[in-house]
Chains A and B, each alone.
Chain A
């Protein structure tokens, strides 16, 4: 079985500062890894995903994440935070099974101050 741990339920940054949201996974087989974002009162939308093609994955809105097998990590970064980045971020893991079921982390709320 796979699992995901997101370190920090809340992360606060100033506008223009680096954003770093941490995700560690556990999987007995090579994983697929995802970051989703949820803006207030909305569903989740995909930011980016790792499907083994490249370890550095670029997503929407200037976010990127790097898959590090040795550290079992898939941390999300953005060089410069914007007020509009304030949202909840979820890391998720899947494996190459017949169904695309995801196991989600508990989420990290990103707060951006002016």
Chain B
């Protein structure tokens, strides 16, 4: 079974702090994704990566950055957390060889509260 793990299930941070969310997948997938999920808005893509050190902006990249130094690990960074970044953050991965029909496998999510 594909396993995607996220470093924290719940996180509480202060405004202005730098926040790191970590995601690890164990299936040698090429693609990894970061989404945020808000009630009534569904999932929105923040960033994705299709290879080590490669990244592409998604629909809502403002206020976020990412890092992929190793194939299995994809980090989401909030350079200076703000209250409007309070949300559920979901990481996902996919094989990366079959284009748009690929299944994405999701982690359990990190619920971030910024005070």
Q: Chain A interface (Cβ within 8 Å of chain B)?
A: 9, 32, 34, 36, 41-46, 49, 51, 90, 94-107
Q: Is residue B74 within 8 Å, beta carbon to beta carbon, of the partner chain?
A: no
Range of interface residues on B (Cβ < 8 Å): 20 to 34
Q: Is residue B58 within 8 Å, beta carbon to beta carbon, of the partner chain?
A: yes
Asked if A97 and B40 sit within 8 Å, CB to CB, the answer is no
- Contact among B44, B96, B108 for A43, CB-based, below 8 A: B108
Q: A101-B45, A104-B43 are in contact. Are A43 and B102 (CB under 8 A)?
A: no
- Contact among A45, A51, A106 for B42, CB-based, below 8 A: A106
Q: How many A-B residue pairs have CB under 8 A?
A: 73
Asked if B103 and A46 sit within 8 Å, CB to CB, the answer is yes
What is the bound-complex CA distance between A32 and B43, given in angstroms?
17
Asked if A99 and B48 sit within 8 Å, CB to CB, the answer is yes
**Smallest Cβ distance from B44 to chain A, in angstroms?**
8
Asked if A107 and B42 sit within 8 Å, CB to CB, the answer is yes
List chain B residues, Cβ under 8 A from A100. 31, 94, 96, 98-102, 104
Q: List 9 extra interface pairs beyond A100-B98, A102-B45, A104-B42, CB under 8 A.
A: A45-B106, A94-B102, A95-B100, A97-B100, A99-B50, A99-B99, A100-B99, A101-B33, A106-B40
What is the bound-complex CA distance between A49 and B35, given in angstroms?
20
